[in-house]
Amino acid sequence: MLGLDQLKFWVEKYSPQAIDTDSLRDSYDRDYLSVGTVDGTTYVAPFQISVPVLYTNTTLAESAGIDALPTTHSEVLEDARAIQEKTDVSTPIQIPRDNIAWWFVQAFVGSGGGTFVNKDGTAGFDSEEGRAALKIYQTIGDEKLEDQVSWQDSIAQFTQGNVAYFFATPAVGASVAASIGDSFDWTISDMPIPDGGTAKLPAGGNGWMVLSDDACRAAFSNELIGAMLDPEVILTSSLANSYIPVDTEAKAELLQRPEADGPLGYAWRYEGTPVAGSGWAGENLGRTNQYLQDMVQSMVDQGEDVNDVVPSTADRISALTK
């Protein structure tokens, strides 16, 4: 099993076998195989999939007179300002500034019409569209809308009622629900995208790969993967971690559950098709993600100008390919 964002690294480093899709059950949703595909060959059968989403403390939002969920960057910023002004919450937004920070950078750039990674492996986000999509970080830093905490602490900030808008993954939905209990009302909705954009969300999660170069062992591995992607396994996984179900039978059963209409049901109801996450050359993945994290923190923590920090970050990443 590997993280979907690490796909290129494993393909480049270990030359895995292609997935035998005939070994997958008929109920497996093959639309999701695209996020495990490189250059037309499917190397990973996704198991658990998530996309960037927005968690909203609706009790807090309504106390500031906000009834609608934000769908764009300008809307979420406007609503955050209202909460900052009308409630005791001074830092109402949390967008990851470490850990999965790169994931939201890709989601913002792609949804804003920009290119995250060029075909030659260099950074593609230093463009008019890319800078406009990432301006939200600078605005948050300028207006001090976000507390400077880690990804793990940001989850706690939301569950304790200290944050109105939490950009995150539906995969933590079950643990969030357990922590909040009935303390306040909350929901999960589509991630707000750059104004005028179209959602293009990178897949998070993990999947199975065949690494053996022995034909017999590879065939056995494919059969094993098909068995592990049983509808009951997918059902149990989606209940425990609120992942998007990759099996149509499991999805149908999940949608019959009472939780399906609530926050946890967001992932179960999901109808979109995510794009592959990351895309950087395998040997550069760790440093690239660190540079993207540095970029986010420089804007969120220090309010640095997007027109300065984005070009310099793109140059740092592109230099890794030379």
pLDDT at 210 over 90: yes
pLDDT at 215: 93
Task: Please tell me the total number of residues recorded for the chain in this structure.
Answer: 322
Per the confidence metrics, is the pTM higher than 0.95? yes
For the chain, the domains span 2-48+202-269, 53-201+280-319
Torsion of CA 276, 31, 69, 167, to 10 degrees: -30
> Domain 53-201+280-319 class?
alpha beta
Same fold, 2-48+202-269 and 53-201+280-319: yes
Q: Range with the lowest mean pLDDT among 49-63, 133-147, 268-282?
A: 268-282
Averaged pLDDT for residues 260-282: 93
Averaged pLDDT for residues 56-67: 98
The residue type at 233: V
Q: Are strands 165-168 and 93-94 parallel, antiparallel or unpaired?
A: parallel
pLDDT at 95: 99
Segment holding 53, helix H or strand E:
strand 53-57
pLDDT at 322 over 80: no
Mean pLDDT, rounded, of the chain: 97
Averaged pLDDT for residues 31-36: 97
Model confidence at 213, pLDDT cuts 50, 70, 90, reads confident
What is d(CA 125, CA 210) in angstroms, rounded to the nearest whole number? 33
Nearest to 188 by CA among 264, 112, 241: 264
pLDDT at 117 over 80: yes
pLDDT at 279: 86
pLDDT at 289 over 80: yes
Whole-number percent of the chain with pLDDT over 90 = 96
CATH architecture of 2-48+202-269: 3-Layer(aba) Sandwich (3.40)
239-262 per-position pLDDT tens digit: 999 999 999 999 999 999 999 999
Higher pLDDT, 313 or 284: 313
